[in-house]
A and B are shown apart, each in its own frame.
Chain A
Amino acid sequence: MLQPRLVEVRQKLLTKNDALARSLRERYRDSGVVVISLVSSPGSGKTAFLEKILTVLHRDFRVAALTGDLATENDARRLARSGAPVRQISTGTVCHLDAAMVGAALEGWKLNELDFLFIENVGNLVCPSSYDLGENARAVLLSVTEGEDKPLKYPSIFHTADAAIVTKMDLADAVDLDSDAVRRNIDAVRPGIPVFETSAKSGLGMDEILNWMTSFARAKAVGAV
C-alpha cells in the first residue's frame, strides 16, 4: 500500500465561471456596451428601479436588460413596458445568476447595437457575491425598510459592489430612516463607494444615478478606472 501524498494546487474555485466571465467582459468591451448588474434582497425594488432607469435611458441610448428569477416571466413583462428589449433568465432552483446563464441568455443579441445592458440578479444578498458575470459595474440596492445595519449583516455582497443605491426614499419618514447610519454602515464594509438615495416613485436621485452610469461605467468599460 502506497502512502498518501500531498500535492499543492493553489487554484481558485469557480475557475470555469471566472473564465467565462472574462470572455464575456471582452465581448462587452469589443462591442462597446456598458454592462451594469443589480443585486439586492428580494423585494428591495430592483425591478421598479430598473424600469425607471430603462424608461429614461431608452430616450437617448440603446438599452436592454436581462432579469433573473427562480420562476415566472413577470419581471421581464414589467421591464418590457419601458420599450427596451428584455429577456428573462429562469434559474429553476438556483439562487444566483452565473456567467454561463448570462452567456446563454445573450445568444442572438447583437451587443454592438447596445449602449447599456442591465443584468438584474436573483433577489439574494449572499450567493451572487461569488459569481462574476463579466459586468463593468455592480450596484447593490438596499431599501429603506430593510434596516440601516443591512450592510453589516451582508458584508460580502457590499464588498463586491461599485455603488450602493438606497431605494424607496419616499418611505424614509415612515420608517424613521437614519440616513447617516446607512451611509456609515456602507462605508464601513466598502469604504469609498458612491451611495445614491433614490425613489423610483418620485424620481429622487435618478439624475445622479444616470450621471454615474454614463460617466463612471463608461470610463470603467474602456479601462480608465
Chain B
Amino acid sequence: MHELSIALSIVEGAEEEALRQGGERVTAVYLRLGPLSGVVREALTFSFDLATEGTRLAGARLIIDDVPVRIYCETCRAEGDPVAEHCLHCARCGGSACRVVSGDELELAALELEDATAAVG
C-alpha cells in the first residue's frame, strides 16, 4: 500500500503546476495509469481524498484514464496487444520476443484550474 505516497506526490506536482500557471484552485486531476505501474486504482482514489485535504486540491475530482498494455513484437515487427496483462507474449504470433511500449504509466496528464476571482476594485 504505497498509494498514499503516490497521492502525496500528485498533490506536490499539481500544486507546483497550479502555482506556475497562476491557478488558485485545482478542481480536477487527470491521471494516466497503466496496469503495470503497480498502483491500485481503488487505493489511490481513497488516498487522494486524504492527501488533498487542506491543499489547493481540496475537493478536486480524480479522473483516471486506464492505459492498456501494448507490446512491440520483434517477430511480427509490429506493435500489438499482449495475450493478457499477465502474459506479455504477442497475441498475434504467440512469440515472447516482445517489449512493453505502454502500460506502465503513472503520469499526471492534465489539471483543471480555477483562477482567483478578479479583485474588486
A contact residues vs B (CB 8 Å cutoff): 1-2, 4-16, 94-96, 126-127, 129-130, 151-153, 155-157, 159, 187-192
* Chain B residues with CB below 8 A from A1, complex form: 117
Question: How many contacts A-B (CB < 8 Å)?
Answer: 112
Total contacting residues, chain B, CB less than 8 A? 42
Bound complex: CA of A57 vs CA of B71, how far in Å?
A: 38
- Indicate with 1 or 0, residue by residue over B1-22, a CB within 8 angstroms of chain A CB atoms: 1100110011011100100010
A189 and B111 within 8 A (CB): no
A129 and B13 within 8 A (CB): no
Taking a contact as CB atoms closer than 8 A, the residue among A11, A188, A191 that contacts B107 in the complex is: A11
B106 and A12 within 8 A (CB): yes
Bound complex: CA of A14 vs CA of B105, how far in Å?
A: 11
* Chain B residues with CB below 8 A from A127, complex form: 1-2, 38
B contact residues vs A (CB 8 Å cutoff): 1-2, 5-6, 9-10, 12-14, 17, 21, 23, 27-28, 35-39, 83, 85-89, 96-98, 100, 104, 106-115, 117-118
CB distance from B30 to the nearest CB of A (A): 8
Bound complex: CA of A159 vs CA of B88, how far in Å?
A: 9
Bound complex: CA of A4 vs CA of B60, how far in Å?
A: 12
Bound complex: CA of A14 vs CA of B14, how far in Å?
A: 12
Known A187-B96, A191-B96: A5·B115 in contact at CB below 8 Å: yes
* Chain A residues with CB below 8 A from B36, complex form: 155-156, 159
CB distance from B66 to the nearest CB of A (A): 14
Bound complex: CA of A94 vs CA of B3, how far in Å?
A: 11
